[in-house]
């Protein structure tokens, strides 16, 4: 039986029915120390319920994104069910509720909750990767930059916008926030990998401008989603959403800079390029061919003034080679 069928809505009433049948076995149990009661309840939830749900999640291959999203949403319902379980059992055992509230521990189903989010994130990353494969259509030595961005980026944006419109209705905002930050960070990593890909032998400034347009679309999406979390009181969410794309943004800024050798300056690097790996920068920089190079090569080198950006890029490449 699939996870989608086993972890359906009936699971929650069944658990609640089990809890209602929980009875204190004797009057002696009612006078046990509060610590013992809480320990007993914690073991039921963490060793039985948590382990059972996690087992279902671990065998959840074949689920769709929408099904995984529903499973992740169900975990917030389970959290409320656990709170009810603790309070109800405490009442039956004669333990004051204030003692239970005062000594409340973290959510006992943490492993299954984390597994549910990990499952959703894994499926989302796989879906994004499907669209990123369309990056094979990027013209890395284009005569002009694509005005509306590359096709893969538009497809990813459409998918994310469709996804989040549904996710807002299902997922708790903290869960949605964590998932989106992780997905955006994954997109940033994939953009870096586009430049590192062995199939890309060289690229020019027009290709970089196209990637810059793609990145701006993702940043606009992140900014739009940030307002949702800020309105809900999660002030740090905006910075976290923006920071998820920072590695790709720093790389594009470096490639578009007129003085890429500034990367070698420790102060500037810490301020503007602190997320970049110098080894990746070295590999990518060697592939970069400024558009103006073709014009200089046409007329020969005699009397031609070297392009300042190319000179700066050559300096960067030379110094990075020496450092590696």
Supply the DSSP string of 60-90, one letter for each residue: -TT--HHHHHHHHHHHHHHHHHHHHHHHHHH
Q: Is pLDDT at 268 greater than 70 in this prediction?
A: yes
What is residue 206's predicted lDDT score, i.e. its pLDDT? 94
Helix axes 278-287, 246-256, angle to 10 degrees: 40
- Predicted local confidence at residue 253, as pLDDT: 97
What local confidence, expressed as pLDDT, does residue 172 receive?
87
Q: Is 229 within 8 Å of 177 (Cβ atoms)?
A: yes
Asked if pLDDT for residue 78 goes beyond 70, the answer is yes
Q: What percent of the chain has pLDDT over 90?
A: 42
Q: Which residues pair with 288 in a beta bridge?
A: 203
User: pLDDT band at 96, cuts 50/70/90?
Assistant: low
Quick check: 293 pLDDT over 80?
no
φ and ψ at residue 24, rounded to 5 degrees: -70, 125
Say what the pLDDT of residue 39 is. Answer: 72
Q: State the pLDDT at residue 291.
A: 53
What single string gives the DSSP state of each residue in 141-178? T-SS--TT--HHHHHHHHHHHHHHHHHHHHS-HHHHHH
What whole-number percentage of the chain has pLDDT above 70? 75
Residue 267 — pLDDT band, cuts 50, 70, 90?
very high
Please tell me the predicted confidence (pLDDT) of residue 8: 46
Is the CB of residue 22 less than 8 Å from the CB of residue 89?
A: yes
Cα–Cα dist 95/35, whole Å: 10
Cβ–Cβ under 8 Å, residues 192 and 247? yes
CA angle 21, 27, 31 (to 5 degrees): 105
- The reported pLDDT for the residue numbered 249 is 97
C-alpha span between 132 and 126 (Å, rounded): 10
Q: How confident is the model at residue 28 (pLDDT cuts 50, 70, 90)?
A: very low
pTM value?
0.80
Tell me which of 23-32, 62-71, 288-297 is least confident: 23-32
Q: Does residue 42 surpass a pLDDT of 90?
A: no
- Whether residue 305 is predicted with pLDDT greater than 90 in this model: the reply is no
Mean pLDDT check: name the lowest of 16-20, 121-125, 132-136, 168-172.
Answer: 16-20
Q: Kindly list the domain boundaries of the chain, sorted by start residue.
A: 3-113, 138-323
CA–CA separation, 84 vs 98, rounded Å? 14
Name the average pLDDT for the chain: 80
Question: What's the rounded mean pLDDT across residues 98-110?
Answer: 67
pLDDT at 108: 76
Residue 92 has pLDDT above 90, yes or no: no
Residue at token pair 């087992």 = 55
Exposed/middle/buried for residue 143 (C-beta within 10 Å: 0-12, 13-18, 19+): exposed
Residue 193 reports pLDDT greater than 60: yes
Decide if pLDDT at 127 tops 60: yes
Q: Work out the average pLDDT over 209-217.
A: 96
Q: Are 180 and 241 in contact (CB under 8 A)?
A: yes
How many CA within 13 A on the CB side of residue 92? 17
Dist. CA 66–CA 123, nearest whole Å: 10
Side-chain-side CA neighbours of 68 within 13 Å: the count stands at: 26
pLDDT at 151 over 90: yes
**C-beta separation of 162 from 128 below 8 A:** no
Q: Are 107 and 76 spatial neighbours (Cβ–Cβ below 8 Å)?
A: no
| CA–CA distance, 265 with 284 (Å, rounded to integer) | 18
- pLDDT bucket at 99, cuts 50 / 70 / 90: low
Residue 286 has pLDDT above 80, yes or no: yes
pLDDT surpasses 80 at 198: yes
Question: Angle CA(261)–CA(264)–CA(266) in degrees, nearest 5?
Answer: 140
CA dist 16 → 22, 77, 177, 324 (Å): 10, 11, 29, 61
């Amino acid at each position: 039986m699939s996870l989608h069928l086993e972890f359906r809505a009936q699971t929650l009433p069944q658990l609640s029915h089990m809890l209602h049948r929980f009875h204190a076995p004797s009057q002696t149990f009612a006078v046990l120390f509060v610590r013992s009661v809480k320990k007993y309840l914690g073991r039921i939830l963490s060793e039985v319920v948590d382990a059972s749900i996690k087992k279902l999640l671990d065998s959840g291959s074949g689920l769709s994104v929408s099904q995984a999203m529903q499973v992740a949403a169900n975990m917030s319902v389970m959290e409320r069910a656990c709170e009810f379980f603790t309070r109800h059992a405490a009442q039956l055992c004669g333990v004051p509720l204030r003692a239970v509230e005062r000594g409340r521990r973290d959510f006992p189903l943490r492993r299954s909750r984390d597994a549910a989010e990990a499952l959703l994130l894994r499926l989302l990353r796989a879906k994004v990767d499907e669209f990123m494969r369309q990056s094979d259509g990027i013209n890395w030595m284009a005569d002009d930059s694509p005005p509306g961005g590359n096709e893969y980026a538009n497809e990813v944006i459409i998918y994310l916008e469709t996804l989040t419109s549904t996710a807002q209705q299902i997922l708790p905002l903290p869960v949605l926030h964590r998932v989106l930050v992780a997905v955006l960070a994954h997109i940033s990593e994939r953009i870096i990998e586009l430049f590192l890909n062995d199939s890309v032998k060289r690229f020019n400034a027009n290709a970089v401008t196209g990637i810059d347009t793609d990145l701006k679309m993702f940043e606009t999406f992140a900014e739009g989603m940030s307002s949702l979390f800020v309105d809900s009181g999660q002030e740090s969410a905006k910075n976290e959403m923006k920071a998820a794309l920072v590695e790709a943004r720093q790389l594009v800024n470096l490639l578009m800079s007129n003085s890429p050798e500034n990367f070698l300056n420790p102060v500037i690097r810490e301020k503007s390029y602190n997320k970049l790996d110098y080894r990746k920068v070295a590999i990518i920089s060697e592939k970069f061919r400024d558009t103006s190079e073709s014009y200089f090569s046409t007329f020969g080198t005699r009397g031609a003034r070297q392009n300042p950006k190319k000179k700066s890029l050559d300096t960067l490449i030379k110094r990075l080679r020496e450092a590696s």
